[in-house]
């Protein structure tokens, strides 16, 4: 199936309230343009340099999401155009995003990444760390960022019931935080293998790569 056909199939299966982020990391511009020409406007990348390069070469109405782990010293390269940063997992990083957004006279939307997976390798805060950040004085002084929701990645495992309980945990965390922080509206969870399950568990933003663009080849 072509990229366009994959996209159409996925979009037709998504409820109206769910936003599709097309995860285009490692894929060439020609593939992204195929998705663009099929109407896709939101693209997700996990490396800042790659996103900067693609942003330069592609139409300016694309909405760029940074979905990977963010190194503080690289925030400046994307601050002029990034629309949503999914993987924010500490206050120091929020401060740097705020600083760079201010230089650009922008307000940058962010999601707090919550660690839901059992793997050590996955980044993220605990639910109580996120709560502490949102209630802190320092956070309230950051005028050039908006924390608009939460993001999580499930364990890389073929066990639906474990993935489901991780998604449910994230949704509960989201509900708990929303009660005192009404600005939280986005819950980014679900990828190619599990986005339907994620939506059933309350996701309203899914990050889908290989089901749109095909398998990634990391050797090139
Ligand atoms: C790569 C990636 C995805 C997409 O993964 P697929 O399985 O190809 O859909 C989603 N979220 C994050 C954070 C990723 O790094």
Residues 6+ apart with CB under 8 A from 26: 50, 216, 217, 218
Point out the ligand 1 atom lying closest to the alpha carbon of residue 153: 13
| % of the chain surpassing 70 pLDDT | 99
Q: What is residue 219's predicted lDDT score, i.e. its pLDDT?
A: 63
Q: Is the pLDDT of residue 220 over 60?
A: no
CA of 135 to the centre of ligand 1 (A): 30
- What's the Rg (C-alpha) of the chain? 17
CA of 196 to the centre of ligand 1 (A): 14
Q: What is residue 77's predicted lDDT score, i.e. its pLDDT?
A: 98
What domains are there in the chain, each with its CATH number? 3-213 (3.20.20.10)
CA of 53 to the centre of ligand 1 (A): 19
For ligand 1, atom 12, which residue shows the shortest CA distance? 67
Point out the ligand 1 atom lying closest to the alpha carbon of residue 192: 9
Pocket of ligand 1 (CB under 6 A): 23, 25, 46, 67-68, 153, 191-193, 207-211
Q: What's the pLDDT tens digit per position in 121-159?
A: 778 999 999 999 999 999 999 999 999 999 999 988 889
For ligand 1, atom 7, which residue shows the shortest CA distance? 192
0.85 cut: is pTM over it?
Answer: yes
The residue whose two tokens read 């199936």 is 1
Q: What's the pLDDT tens digit per position in 71-109?
A: 999 999 999 999 999 999 999 999 999 999 999 999 999
């Amino acid at each position: 199936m072509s990229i366009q056909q994959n996209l159409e199939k996925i979009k037709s299966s998504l409820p109206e309230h769910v936003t599709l982020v097309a995860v285009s990391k490692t894929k060439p511009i020609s593939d992204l343009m195929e998705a663009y020409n099929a109407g896709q406007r939101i693209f997700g990348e996990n490396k800042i340099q790659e996103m900067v390069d693609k942003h330069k070469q592609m139409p300016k109405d694309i909405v760029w999401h940074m979905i990977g782990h963010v190194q503080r010293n690289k925030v400046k390269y994307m601050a002029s155009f990034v629309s949503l940063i999914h993987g924010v997992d500490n206050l120091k990083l929020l401060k740097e995003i705020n600083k760079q957004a201010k230089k650009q006279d922008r307000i940058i939307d962010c999601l707090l990444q919550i660690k839901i997976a059992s793997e050590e390798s996955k980044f993220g805060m605990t639910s109580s760390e996120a709560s502490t950040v949102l209630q802190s004085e320092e956070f309230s002084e950051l005028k050039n960022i908006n924390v608009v929701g939460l993001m999580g990645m499930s364990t890389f495992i073929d066990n639906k019931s474990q993935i489901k309980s991780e998604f449910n945990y994230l949704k509960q965390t989201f509900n708990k935080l929303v009660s005192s922080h009404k600005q939280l509206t986005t819950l980014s969870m679900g990828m190619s293998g599990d986005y339907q399950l994620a939506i059933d568990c309350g996701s309203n933003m899914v990050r889908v790569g290989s089901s749109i663009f095909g398998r990634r080849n990391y050797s090139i």
